[in-house]
Amino acid sequence: MQSLEEIEREIKNCKRCELWKTKTNYVPGEGNPKAKIVFVGEAPGREEDKQGRPFVGNAGKYLTEVMQKFGLKREDVYITNVLKCRPPNNRDPKPEEVEACKPFLIKQLEAIKPDVIVCLGRHSAGVIFELFGLNFPGISRVRGKIFEIDKWGKNVKVIAVYHPAAVLYRPQLKEDFENDFGKIMEVLKEKKVRETTLLDFV
């Protein structure tokens, strides 16, 4: 089993698709290696490409604000993207780029073994749902719903929400986005309560 540091080193040497030629920095991801919750976005944007860190532009600032509102700190979670390099002009990821980069995401999830995976936006949800054999009819159809999978010897929850950038672009999505965040927090609290109750019997 590779550590997150080893996976990061591998990402920073990657030339599996053409994006390494146009990027400024690789953006592997960051956060707690023992995080209970992993947020997966689509691809780095301009600011992320500059800094080599995920979700540090306007969408990232909004995501951080909402997390704080619900009592989550960035350092407690792990945040990454499906793609680890920025597509030129923030265009959508190409299927071959997703296929080239997906093994890194799988390795990151295997290293962390989270209790909850949050898909930020339709591209991330499409990849994660396919990965775990879940049907993905579209982001507006699945957002806010809690899907359960058996992985890493435990029950893992998968939740898709709108991408924070989409919420900034269309403020009418804000209420849905923040309501869905409330559901994420409920799932985390349930997990915590269950673990505490189990400890009482140990």
- The count of C-alpha atoms lying within 13 angstroms of the C-alpha of 170, restricted to the half-sphere facing its C-beta, is 7
Q: Residue 99 has which token pair?
A: 């296929």
CB 115 within 8 A of CB 156: yes
DSSP 8-state symbol, 91: P
* Cβ pair 36, 114 in contact under 8 A: yes
Tokens at 47, concatenated: 């600011």
The C-alpha atoms of residue 39 and residue 26 are separated, in whole angstroms, by: 18
Residue 202 confidence (pLDDT): 46
The domains of the chain, with CATH numbers, are 4-200 (3.40.470.10)
Residues 25-74: tens digit of each pLDDT: 999 999 999 999 999 999 999 999 999 999 999 999 999 999 999 999 99
> What is the reported pTM?
0.94
How far is the C-alpha of 115 from the C-alpha of 151, rounded, in Å? 9
Q: What is the pLDDT of residue 25?
A: 98
CA atoms within 13 A on the CB side of 153: 0
Note the residue count of the chain. Answer: 202
* Residue of 92, 74, 90 whose CA lies nearest to 29: 74
> Residues with Cβ < 8 Å from 17, sequence gap 6 or more?
85, 96, 97, 100, 101
Within the chain, what is the greatest distance between any pair of CA atoms?
55
Q: Residue 34 gets which letter from DSSP? A: T
Per-residue confidence (pLDDT) for residue 196, from 0 to 100: 60
Three-state DSSP state, 96: helix
Positions of the chain with pLDDT under 70: 194-202
So what's the pLDDT on residue 114? 97
